[in-house]
C-alpha cells in the first residue's frame, strides 16, 4: 500500500463517523481531550497534559520526560427539523459518532525545549436527511473527514513563560449530495453529488505566561488552511433509464483560522478556575465553485456556484477543577456556542444555531498512568429560519428553501488515557 493510501486509511480510521456540529460552531470538533472537555474546553491557560499540542503547544513545556495520551470522543446527537406550517419533525439518520485522538510529548532532562506530535480531527461531520423534508434540492447528505498531523516544538523562555508552534498537515475528504428536483420517485432517484479529497498545510502557535502561582494566561492561534478538493461529480438525469453521469471536478474550501485566549485562576493548589474566549473566522466559507470537466448535459451548469456566506462566531468557555490529595480530581464546565450560519443561505448540512454545553468529569493522575472520563450534554433551543435562499441552482429552480425550525440535543462520553515514561 503506498503512502497516500495509507494516510487515507488512517484518516478514515481516526475520524470514524464524525459528527457534524458535534460540539462547536460550524462543523468544528473542539473536544480533543476528556479532561479539557470536562472543564468546558477552558484549557488554553492550563494546558498541562499532552493534548496541549492542540489546545496550546506552549503548554507542553510543563511536562517532563515522555508522555503519551490517547482518547475517544463518542457522541449521540439528534438534530431536528420542522417545516414551516407543518407539524411533522424530521431527524438526520446519522446519530452516532466516534472520534479518536492521539498525542505525544517529549522534554529531555534539563532542557528548555519540548517536542510534541498530535494526530486528531479538528473538523468532521456526517448529516443524512430524509428525502421528504421539503428541502431535498437544497441538501440531503453531507460527509466530511478532516485529519490533522501536527508536530510542534516549544521553548521555555523564562521560568513562567513559554512559546510554542508547529505545522499542521491536513487531509480532507468531502461528499455532498442534493436532489435535482423536489420529488423523489424511484427508480428515477435524481441527485447531484460531489466527492473529492485533497491536502492542505497550516500552522499553530501558542503562548503561556504564569507570572504568579495563582494566575496563568494562555493564547493560541491556528491558521486558516485552503484545500483544493479533486474528485468528481455524479448526477442522475431526470428520467429513469438514463445512465448516471460522472465528470472530473474540483472545488476549493478555506477552513477557518481560530484564536483562543484564556485566564486560569488558582486560589489554592486544590482549585483551578478558567475562562476562555474562542473565536472562529467562518467568513472564510464565502462563495466557491465546482469546476467540472466535460458536458453535464440537459442544460446543466458547467461550473455550478455555491454560496455559503457564513459568519465569524465565538465560543465562551468556563471550567473548574477540584484536585484531591490522592491523585484524583473532578471537573465541571459550560460552553456557550454562537451560531455561524446566517439565515440568508442556511444549509441543513450544518443546521447551526446558538447552543449550550454542560459537562462533568473525573480522573486520576499517577506517576506512570493517568486517565479521565467526561460526560457532556448539548442543547440547542429552537431556531427558526425564514427568508433563506438555496446556496446552489437546484434549490432555486425548484423553489425549495431551508426555511423551518431546527433544534438540537446531544449526549457525549469522552475517555482519555495517558502514560508517562
Specify the pLDDT at position 370.
97
Contact 227, 200 (CB under 8 A): yes
CA dist 142 and 405 (Å) reads: 20
The three cell numbers of residue 182 are 423536489
Per-residue pLDDT averaged across 60-68, rounded? Answer: 97
Per-residue pLDDT averaged across 21-46, rounded? Answer: 84
Residue of higher predicted confidence among 240 and 91: 91
Specify the pLDDT at position 9.
33
Confidence grade of residue 113 (pLDDT, cut at 50, 70, 90): very high
Residue 77 pLDDT greater than 50, yes or no: yes
Average pLDDT taken over every residue of the chain: 90
CA dist 282 and 284 (Å) reads: 5
Specify the pLDDT at position 19.
32
Contact 44, 317 (CB under 8 A): no
Q: Where do we find the cell 439565515?
A: 343
The three cell numbers of residue 403 are 426555511
Phi and psi based region of residue 110 (left: phi greater than 0; alpha: psi -120 to 50; beta: remaining): left
Tens-place pLDDT, residues 207-253: 999 999 999 999 999 999 999 999 999 987 655 555 578 999 999 99
Residue 62 pLDDT greater than 70, yes or no: yes
Tens-place pLDDT, residues 159-185: 999 999 999 999 999 999 999 888 877
Residue 287 pLDDT greater than 80, yes or no: yes
Specify the pLDDT at position 7.
36
Question: Can you list the alpha helix ranges (DSSP code H) found in 325-415?
Answer: 393-397
Residue percentage of the chain with pLDDT more than 70 = 91
Tens-place pLDDT, residues 296-317: 876 677 898 999 999 999 999 9
The CB-side HSE value for 38 (13 A sphere, CA atoms) comes to: 21
Residue 72's nearest CA partner among 52, 106, 96 is 96
**Residue 13 neighbours by CB under 8 Å, 6+ apart:** 100
pTM, two decimals, is 0.91
**Residue 242 neighbours by CB under 8 Å, 6+ apart:** 236
Residue 219's nearest CA partner among 230, 210, 232, 229 is 210
Amino acid at each position: 500500500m503506498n503512502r497516500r493510501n495509507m494516510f487515507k486509511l488512517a484518516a478514515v480510521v481516526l475520524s470514524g463517523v464524525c459528527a457534524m456540529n458535534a460540539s462547536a460552531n460550524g462543523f468544528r470538533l473542539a473536544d480533543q481531550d476528556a479532561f479539557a472537555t470536562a472543564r468546558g474546553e477552558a484549557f488554553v491557560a492550563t494546558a498541562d497534559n499532552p493534548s496541549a499540542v492542540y489546545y496550546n503547544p506552549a503548554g507542553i513545556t510543563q511536562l517532563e520526560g515522555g508522555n503519551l495520551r490517547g482518547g475517544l470522543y463518542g457522541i449521540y446527537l439528534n438534530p431536528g427539523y420542522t417545516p414551516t406550517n407543518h407539524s411533522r419533525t424530521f431527524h438526520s439518520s446519522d446519530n452516532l459518532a466516534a472520534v479518536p485522538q492521539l498525542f505525544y510529548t517529549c522534554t529531555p532532562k534539563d532542557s528548555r525545549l519540548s517536542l510534541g506530535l498530535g494526530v486528531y480531527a479538528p473538523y468532521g461531520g456526517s448529516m443524512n436527511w430524509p428525502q421528504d423534508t421539503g428541502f431535498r434540492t437544497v441538501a440531503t447528505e453531507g460527509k466530511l473527514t478532516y485529519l490533522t498531523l501536527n508536530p510542534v516544538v516549544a521553548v521555555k523562555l523564562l521560568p513562567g513563560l513559554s512559546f510554542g508552534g508547529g505545522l499542521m498537515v491536513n487531509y480532507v475528504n468531502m461528499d455532498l449530495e442534493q436532489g435535482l428536483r423536489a420529488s423523489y420517485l424511484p427508480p428515477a432517484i435524481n441527485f447531484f453529488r460531489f466527492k473529492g479529497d485533497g491536502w492542505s498545510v497550516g500552522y499553530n502557535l501558542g503562548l503561556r505566561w504564569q507570572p504568579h502561582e495563582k494566575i496563568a494566561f494562555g493564547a493560541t492561534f491556528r491558521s486558516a488552511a485552503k484545500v483544493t478538493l479533486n474528485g468528481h461529480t455524479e448526477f442522475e438525469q431526470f428520467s429513469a433509464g438514463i445512465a448516471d453521469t460522472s465528470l472530473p471536478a474540483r472545488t476549493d474550501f478555506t477552513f477557518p483560522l481560530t484564536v483562543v485566549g484564556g485566564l486560569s485562576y488558582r486560589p489554592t493548589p486544590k482549585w483551578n478556575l478558567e475562562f476562555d474566549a474562542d473565536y472562529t473566522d467562518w467568513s472564510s466559507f464565502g462563495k466557491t465553485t465546482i469546476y467540472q470537466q466535460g458536458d453535464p448535459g440537459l442544460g446543466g451548469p458547467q461550473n455550478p456556484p455555491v454560496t455559503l456566506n457564513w459568519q465569524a462566531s465565538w465560543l465562551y468557555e468556563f471550567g473548574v477543577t477540584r484536585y484531591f490529595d490522592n491523585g484524583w480530581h473532578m471537573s465541571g464546565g459550560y460552553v456557550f456556542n454562537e451560531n455561524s450560519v446566517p439565515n440568508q443561505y442556511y444549509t441543513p448540512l450544518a443546521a447551526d444555531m446558538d447552543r449550550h454545553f454542560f459537562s462533568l468529569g473525573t480522573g486520576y493522575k499517577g506517576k506512570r498512568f493517568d486517565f479521565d472520563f467526561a460526560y457532556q450534554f448539548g442543547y440547542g433551543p429552537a431556531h427558526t429560519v425564514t427568508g433563506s435562499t438555496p446556496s446552489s441552482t437546484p434549490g432555486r429552480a425548484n423553489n425549495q428553501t431551508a426555511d423551518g425550525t431546527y433544534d438540537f440535543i446531544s449526549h457525549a462520553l469522552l475517555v482519555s488515557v495517558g502514560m508517562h515514561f
